[in-house]
Amino acid sequence: MYEILTGPGLWLAFAIAVIGLVVRTVFYIQGLNWKLDRVAYTAFPAAGAKGAIRSILAFLVPFGNHSWRAKPGFTVMFFTFHIGLLAVPLFLEGHAVILMERFGIAWPSMSMGAADFWTVAMLVAALGIAMRRLLLPEVRIVTDAKDWFVLIISVAPFLSGYMVVHQIGDYNFWLLAHIVSGLAWIALLPFTKLFHVVGFFWSRAQLGMDYGIKRGGMKYKSFDW
- Give domain status of residue 35, yes or no: no
102-125 per-position pLDDT tens digit: 777 778 888 889 999 999 999 999
Q: Give the Cα-Cα-Cα angle 152, 125, 190 (nearest 5 degrees).
A: 40
pLDDT of residue 8: 83
Q: How many domains does the chain have?
A: 1
- Give domain status of residue 131, yes or no: yes
- Give domain status of residue 209, yes or no: no
- Give domain status of residue 219, yes or no: no
Which CATH number covers residue 8?
A: 1.20.950.20
Q: Which residues contact 71 (CB under 8 A, 6 or more apart)?
A: none
Q: Is 23's pLDDT higher than 70?
A: yes
pLDDT of residue 145: 94
What domain range is 110 assigned to? 2-28+66-191
- Give domain status of residue 145, yes or no: yes
- Give domain status of residue 44, yes or no: no
- Give domain status of residue 86, yes or no: yes
143-168 per-position pLDDT tens digit: 999 999 999 999 999 999 999 999 99
Q: Is 222's pLDDT higher than 60?
A: no
- Give domain status of residue 222, yes or no: no
203 in Cβ contact with 37 (< 8 Å): no
Question: What is the pTM (predicted TM-score) of this model?
Answer: 0.85
- Band (pLDDT 50/70/90 cuts) for residue 225 is very low
